[in-house]
Amino acid sequence: MFKGKFGKYAVLGVAAGALATFVTISTTARADNKEKDREISRLSAQNTAIDGTAILLPSGVDPGDAGVITIYSNTITIPPRDNTVYVTLSGNGLGFCDGIAVNCQVDGTNCLPGSAGTVLPTGWVVPLGDEFGSDSDFGLSGLNYTFCAPITKGSHTITLNAATEFGDCNTYIEALHVYVDSNRIAPGVDQCGTYANPNPIASPD
């Protein structure tokens, strides 16, 4: 038990120390939470067509048609803290014309609100192609793209669709790897938002 002036000052010192410790812990906790927000969690890592087979994207099926091939579909659980999902595909592609177009959807909604160029439907991009090659062949080449989309916690179905760019011939995907990651980003333009084109011109497509 503290007594007298010394005791009074001692109690005040202990209280001040406790407050300082509390503030330090609270500040550290907030900093830790922000750091955890930025951490990316890998939710899925799968592969296919690594056994000598290829995924056929058949002639006559354009991007956006009913017959596009679903090259990936997986239901995943987004952690409670996270609000942003990243879907990455990495593999090899080859074909005898045009290129390979890919589309990402979360619960049936396009990950990409726009498109690449002017000839593709909304939500589609061409990560591998020979668009101006007069329908010439393109050999085994890298096929890579990452989609980003806002999302909510809980269960969601991630889908990747693919087709030959103009549906003019058969194209193929081999050794496909698909990764699904998530984290938390403050809502706004940084959360898969669009920034101004730094040097705009009409697309040559």
Between the CA of residue 203 and those of 1, 48, 184, 199, what are the distances in Å?
Answer: 81, 34, 33, 12
Judged against a pLDDT cut of 90, whether residue 119 lies above it is answered with no
**What is the distance of C-alpha 161 from the center of its chain?**
15
Let me know: does 56 contact 70? Beta carbons within 8 Å: no
Q: How many helices (H) and strands (E) does the chain have?
A: 1, 10
- Which of 8-12, 34-38, 122-126 is the least confident region? 8-12
What band does 96 get if pLDDT is binned at 50, 70 and 90? confident
Rg from Cα positions in the chain: 26
* 70 vs 169 pLDDT, higher one: 70
pLDDT, residue 25, reads 43
Q: CA torsion angle for 87, 93, 98, 102 (degrees, to 10)?
A: -20
Amino acid 135: pLDDT: 61
- pLDDT greater than 80 at residue 39: yes
H or E stretch at 86: strand 84-95
- Whether the CB-CB separation of 175 and 53 falls below 8 Å is answered with no
The pTM of the full predicted model, rounded to 2 decimals, is: 0.81
